[in-house]
A and B are shown apart, each in its own frame.
Chain A
Amino acid sequence: MKARTPSQACCLLLLGLAAGVLAHAGERVLRVAILTNSPPMSYTDASGKPAGFNVGVARALCETMKVRCELTVVELAKVVDAVAAGEFDFAAVSLLATPARQARVLFSKPYYRSNSIWFSQPGVTPGATSARVAAVAGSAQYRYARAQGWNVVAVDHHSELPALLSAGKVNAVLLPMATSLSLRANPLIQSLGLETTVLQAPELSGDVGFSIDPRNPQLRDHINAAFDQIKRDGRFDRLNTEYLPFRLQ
Chain B
Amino acid sequence: MTALLRTLRGALAVDWRAFLRAHWTQRSWPAGKALGWLGALFGVAFLAQILWLASDQRQVLESSERLLERTVPSTLEHFRVARNLEQLRLEGERVFSGRTPVARQQARFIVSLLSSHPAMLADSRVAALAREVDAFLSQAARQGMSEQHYAEWETLSSRLSLLADDISTEGVNLASADLQLMSTTMLRSQVKLALVLALVALFVGGFLFLIHRHLIRPLQEMDDALRELRSGQALTPFSTTAMAEIRAVEGAIGQLREVMHENDEARRQLHFLATTDSLTGMFNRRHFMALAEDELRRAHRYGRPICVGMADLDNFKGINDGHGHAVGDRVLQSLAELFGHTLRQSDWVCRYGGEEFAFLFTETTLDEAHRLAERLRQHAAETSIDVGDGSGGLQLTLSLGLADASTGSLEAALGRADTALYAAKEEGRNRVVIAASAKTPRPPPEEGKDLDSPTGERGRK
Which residue numbers of A lie inside 8 Å of B, CB to CB? 112-115, 117, 177, 180-181, 184-185, 187, 190, 196, 198, 200, 205-206, 228, 231-232, 237, 245-249
Contact = CB atoms under 8 A, between A and B. Distances in A.
Nearest to A193: B105
Contact of A249 (B72, B81, B106): B81
B106 A185 contact: yes
Contacts of A177: 113, 117
B84 A249 contact: yes
A115 B118 contact: yes
Given A190-B105, A228-B69, A246 B110 contact: yes
Nearest to B88: A246
B73 A231 contact: yes
A219 B73 CA distance: 21
B113 A247 contact: no
Tell me which of A185, A196, A246, A249 has the highest count of chain B C-beta atoms within 10 A of its own C-beta.
Answer: A246
Nearest to B83: A247
A182 to B, nearest CB: 11
A248 to B, nearest CB: 8
A232 B73 contact: yes
Nearest to A199: B116
B270 interface: no
A245 B110 contact: yes
Interface in B71-121: 72-73, 76-77, 80-81, 83-84, 87-88, 91, 102, 105-106, 109-110, 112-114, 116-120
19 contacts: A115-B117, A117-B113, A180-B109, A181-B109, A181-B113, A185-B106, A190-B105, A196-B109, A196-B112, A198-B113, A200-B116, A206-B118, A228-B73, A231-B76, A232-B73, A246-B87, A246-B110, A247-B80, A249-B118
Given A231-B76, A232-B68, A245-B91, 11 more contacts: A181-B110, A181-B113, A190-B105, A228-B69, A237-B80, A246-B110, A246-B113, A246-B114, A247-B81, A249-B77, A249-B117
A33 to B, nearest CB: 26
B309 to A, nearest CB: 93
Chain A binding surface, main DSSP class: mixed
Nearest to A245: B110
Contacts of B76: 231-232, 237
Nearest to B112: A196
A249 B109 contact: no
A205 B118 CA distance: 8
A185 B106 CA distance: 7
Across chains A and B, which 6 residue pairs bring their CB atoms closest together, nearest first? A249-B119, A198-B116, A247-B80, A113-B118, A246-B87, A247-B83
Nearest to B103: A185
Contacts of B113: 117, 177, 180-181, 198, 246
Contacts of A245: 87, 91, 110
A190 B73 contact: no
B185 to A, nearest CB: 23
A242 B76 CA distance: 18
A115 B122 CA distance: 14
Nearest to B118: A113
A177 B88 CA distance: 16
Contacts of B114: 246
B65 to A, nearest CB: 12
Contacts of A190: 102, 105
Interface of B: 68-69, 72-73, 76-77, 80-81, 83-84, 87-88, 91, 102, 105-106, 109-110, 112-114, 116-120
Contact of A232 (B72, B83, B102): B72
A117 B113 CA distance: 8
Nearest to B119: A249
A234 B113 CA distance: 24
Contacts of A206: 118
Contacts of A200: 116, 118
A198 B112 contact: yes
A244 to B, nearest CB: 10
Contacts of A249: 77, 80-81, 84, 117-120
Contacts of A247: 80-81, 83-84, 87
Contacts of B87: 245-247
A248 B113 CA distance: 11
B84 A246 contact: yes
Contacts of A117: 113
Contacts of A185: 102, 106
Contacts of A231: 73, 76
Nearest to B69: A228
Given A184-B106, A190-B102, A247-B87, A115 B116 contact: yes
A176 B415 CA distance: 150
Tell me which of A112, A185, A190, A247 has the highest count of chain B C-beta atoms within 10 A of its own C-beta.
Answer: A247
Contacts of B72: 232
A135 to B, nearest CB: 18
A118 B421 CA distance: 163
A245 B110 CA distance: 8
B178 to A, nearest CB: 15
B456 to A, nearest CB: 86
B214 to A, nearest CB: 57
A246 B80 CA distance: 9
Contact of A184 (B80, B91, B109, B118): B109
A173 to B, nearest CB: 14
Contacts of B84: 246-247, 249
Contacts of B105: 184, 190
A112 B119 CA distance: 8
Contacts of A114: 118
A76 B116 CA distance: 25
Contacts of A198: 112-113, 116
Contacts of A181: 109-110, 113
Contacts of A228: 69, 73
A184 B106 CA distance: 7
Nearest to B100: A190
B162 to A, nearest CB: 19
A67 B72 CA distance: 26
A28 to B, nearest CB: 26
